[in-house]
Amino acid sequence: MSQKKAVVLVSGGLDSTTVLAIARSQGYACYTISFDYGQRHRSELLAAERTATSLGSVEHKVIKLDLRSIGGSALTDDAISVPEEETSGIPVTYVPARNTVFLSIALGWAEVLGADDIFIGVNAVDFSGYPDCRPDYIAAYEVMANLATRAGAEGNRLKIRTPLIDLSKADIIKQGLALGVDYSLTVSCYQANDRGEACGKCDSCRLRSAGFAQAGVADPTLYRS
């Protein structure tokens, strides 16, 4: 029998890299996809390519989108600053409809490949409060995906896999290390520089740093200072 295929969304960050390692450990032939959507920096795209290669991606695609043209997020509008202190509510780093757009393109590629599984590194425990990282969103999207595709209509049920959704950042790191993930290859910072050096102050940096501390392992992140 041929190896089962999966499309894995990779951003170059800690969570999506761990998801790729999990999918590979479960026996999937992994086809990875990243998005050049007008985000503040390209270092995460370079990190995505590094991690995809490191973890044996069969094929890696970078899809170019222009979410900067609609803005509405600190990640796609230079006039909105990335917060460096904890905020309440949904933060300005939320990119409107981002996961819906990304999953839809991944869904199309999955149909082309004949893959029944899409992996995404959403997390509802140690996360920034984004609405498109919640279990009810993923469940609703999966229902839509099976209504909207030829594969679903013909009985080839598509599954959105979210192996990290209930894990703490520390548990994610421990699982990744057990699977051989090299976290020094990853970039999580919302405002990393061209060398991939992290600010150490944004929400993503704080969550990442706390995760390594709680996991009791050294933080391999490159910081600017």
* 8-state DSSP, 222: -
200: left (phi over 0), alpha (psi -120 to 50) or beta: left
Give the three-class secondary structure for 29. strand
Q: How much is the pLDDT for 2?
A: 78
Number of residues that make up the chain: 225
Contact 58, 207 (CB under 8 A): no
- How far, in Å, CA of 212 to CA of 195, rounded? 21
How does residue 182 score in pLDDT terms, banded at 50, 70 and 90? very high
- How far, in Å, CA of 174 to CA of 19, rounded? 12
pLDDT tens-digit map of 120-145: 999 988 667 899 999 999 999 999 99
pLDDT tens-digit map of 5-59: 999 999 999 999 999 999 999 999 999 999 999 999 899 999 999 999 999 999 9
> What pTM does this model have?
0.95
Q: How much is the pLDDT for 127?
A: 66
Give the three-class secondary structure for 5. strand
- How far, in Å, CA of 157 to CA of 46, rounded? 33
Alpha-carbon distance values, 29 to 62, 95, 218 (Å): 18, 30, 31
